[in-house]
Amino acid sequence: MTRIDDKFAELKAAGKPAFVTYVMAGDPNYETSLAVVKGLPAAGVDVIELGLPFTDPMADGPTIQLAGQRALAAGMTLNKTLALAAAFREDDQTTPIVLMGYYNPIYSHGVDKFLKDAGAAGIDGLIVVDLPPEEDDELCIPANNAGMNFIRLATPTTDAKRLPKVLENTSGFLYYVSITGITGAAEANADAVAPEVARIKAETDIPVCVGFGIKTPAVAAAIGKIADGVVVGSAIVELLGNDKSPAEVLAFVKELADGVHGT
């Protein structure tokens, strides 16, 4: 059992959906990023997705791309991202952290070394968007063997034939992408998402979290009624891109959390 498994079990017992937030590590700089990450649990966040900056984030829209560019320009690296997670863990041993990014920096670091270093830093799970299930031997299975969840994405185009393969080695939770396209491109629609979540849940006991296109407390609340968790990223990252202070960012996060947990 990982911290992710424990958190979802705790929330299920309480009858609440999880509130999952994404922030880019090092955006706009290390100090501000750490202040935001440290403040997320008190703002009502159940699971933290920590973005790993990368030069070619092909699944992300302009908001996340620019966040990665800001972080890289400020000197953020994989090692500094893990250092940020370790600094968070000095004060918080319970909130799950999922590292989300692309395979190239991990491959360059060395898979075995990465899993050792990530585990030591307190990382509980991975989302690596450019590694399909056919490449599970690369990182997914080694991560699972190291006691780390490997979280997979499903989309509106993941049909009944493809879904079992996607679910095969997924653990922690399944991330359902509510829209076709890149992050931040459109607004999620709970009525459209509900049957897709039900279809996936009929095939697995893994919690299903919905992300992409969730920008307001009202939409977050609506998604929370039909899923095991709600993921918000671009709407939060955009505030950092607009030079909002950690306090202002966390106040918005608290509004979102109240929407999700009010369900």
Query: Would you name the residues annotated as active-site residues?
Result: 49, 60
C-alpha radius of gyration, the chain, whole number? 17
Entry field: residues in the chain: 263
Are residues 83 and 121 in contact, defined by beta-carbon separation less than 8 angstroms? yes
Nearest CA-CA partner of 3 in 25, 18, 23: 18
Distances (CA, A) of 228 to 114, 157, 201, 258: 29, 20, 10, 16
